[in-house]
Amino acid sequence: MNASADIQSAIAALLEAPGALPVAAPVLKRREKEMASDLDAGAAVTNGLCIFVMPPVPTSAVQGVSFVFFDGYEVRVRIIELPQMNTTGADTYELIDAVALALHWQPKAQDNPLAGILAHPLQIARRPVEMIEGTASAAGMPYDGKFLRVADVVFNAVLQINNPA
């Protein structure tokens, strides 16, 4: 695996942990335009409320060295809600808070999935949430034409070069 995939898997594991979220919403490691990921995402959305951990994107690299090492990443956790189909008892706004609380300043313990990956605890970004609302357009799917709410909770991650011994 690579650093991006490692971070994505660790974030998904943290959100899937018992008590991390107020409701049992599907948590998926999302990769756009990959057939298996697209099928899983389509099925998860039909639940009315789901969470996608997007692939982290590098934001900075170590400079002045003969190798390439991305030391900063932007991490996005995407909450997707179809209010008309959501029967979970929670909504996007509640999950924004829950995701932020579950991930901000992680790792808190050595057995945390992010321990050994990050040089500094995960931090919520300066602009912590980006949100859009509109009508879903997915021909043939049960949610086509339904109202859709999407919120990205954004974090900054700083990687360490060497794992601790």
51 against 109, higher pLDDT: 51
Sketch the domain layout of the chain as residue ranges: 3-159
Cβ atoms of 159 and 73 within 8 Å: the answer is yes
Give every CB contact of residue 13 below 8 A, 6+ residues apart in sequence: 113
Cα(75)–Cα(62) distance, rounded to whole angstroms? 18
pLDDT in tens, 65-88: 898 888 899 999 999 999 999 999
SS3 58: strand
Query: Residue 68's pLDDT is what?
Result: 83
CATH fold for domain 3-159: STM4215-like (3.30.2000)
Confidence of residue 1 (pLDDT cuts 50, 70, 90): low
- Give the residue carrying structure tokens 């959501």: 86
Confidence of residue 54 (pLDDT cuts 50, 70, 90): very high
